[in-house]
Structure 1
Amino acid sequence: MRLVTAALVALLALTGCSAAPQETPAAPLSGAAAPEQAGNLDDAAPPQRYVALGDSFTAAPLVPMTELETGCFRSDGNYPSLLADALGLRLTDVSCSGASTRDLVRRQSTVQQASAPPQLRVLDDRTDLVTVGIGGNDFGLFGGLVRTCLQLRSSDPTGAPCATSALGERLVSRIPDIGRNVERSLRRIEQRAPNARVILVGYPRIAPSDGACPRLLPFADGDVSFGDRVLRELDASLRGAADAAGVDYLDLYTASAGHDVCSARPWVNGRQTQPGVALAFHPLATGARATATLLEDLVARS
Structure 2
Amino acid sequence: MIRTVRTLFAAVLVLVGLTIPAQAAAGEVYVALGDSAASGPLIPNQVLPQLGCFRSDRNYAHLTAAAIGASTFRDVTCSGADTRDMYQSQNTDLGSMPPQLDALSADTTLVTVQIGANDVGLTGFIEDCLNLLPPPVGDYCYDDYQSGGQDEWRVKTDNLRPVLVQLAADIRARAPQARIFVVGYATYARENGCYPTVPILRRDANYIRSTLVYFNQMLAEQAAAAGVGFIDLQSPSVGHDPCTGPNTRWIEPYVPANPATPFHPNANGMRGFATAVIASVSAAH
Asked if residue 269 in structure 1 is aligned to residue 252 in structure 2, the reply is: yes
**Alignment partner of 1:81: what SS?**
helix
How far off its partner does 1:260 sit?
Answer: 1.1
How far off its partner does 1:222 sit?
Answer: 1.4
1:129 alignment partner, one of 106, 110, 118: 110
1:51 alignment partner, one of 31, 38, 50: 31
How far off its partner does 1:27 sit?
Answer: 6.1
1:188-221: CA deviations, max 9, x gaps? 1111100001111100001002232433x32223
2:221 alignment partner, one of 240, 248, 255: 240
Corresponding residue for 2:185? 203
Structure 2 residue ranges without an equivalent (≥5):
14-19
Please, what is the CA RMSD of the aligned residues? 2.6
Distance in 1 between residues matched to 2:264 and 2:53, nearest whole Å: 14
Asked if residue 187 in structure 1 is aligned to residue 169 in structure 2, the reply is: yes
Structure 1 residue ranges without an equivalent (≥5):
1-25, 33-37
Within a 5 Å distance, the mapping from 1:88-237 to structure 2 comes to 88-89=69-70, 90-112=72-94, 114-139=95-120, 141-150=121-130, 154=133, 156=135, 161-166=140-145, 169-215=151-197, 217-237=198-218
**Alignment partner of 2:32: what SS?**
strand
How far off its partner does 1:285 sit?
Answer: 0.8
How far off its partner does 1:147 sit?
Answer: 3.0
Corresponding residue for 2:64? 83
**Alignment partner of 1:146: what SS?**
helix
For residues 218 and 157 of structure 1, do their structure 2 counterparts lie closer, same or farther at Cα, with a shift above 3 Å needed?
A: farther
- The range that moved more, 258-267 or 287-296, is 258-267
How far off its partner does 1:179 sit?
Answer: 2.8
Distance in 2 between residues matched to 1:72 and 1:127, nearest whole Å: 22
- Structure 2-normalised TM-score? 0.84
Asked if residue 251 in structure 1 is aligned to residue 251 in structure 2, the reply is: no
Identity of aligned residues (%): 36
For residues 127 and 174 of structure 1, do their structure 2 counterparts lie closer, same or farther at Cα, with a shift above 3 Å needed?
A: same
Distance in 2 between residues matched to 1:223 and 1:117, nearest whole Å: 37
Distance in 2 between residues matched to 1:218 and 1:164, nearest whole Å: 17
1:65 alignment partner, one of 39, 45, 56: 45
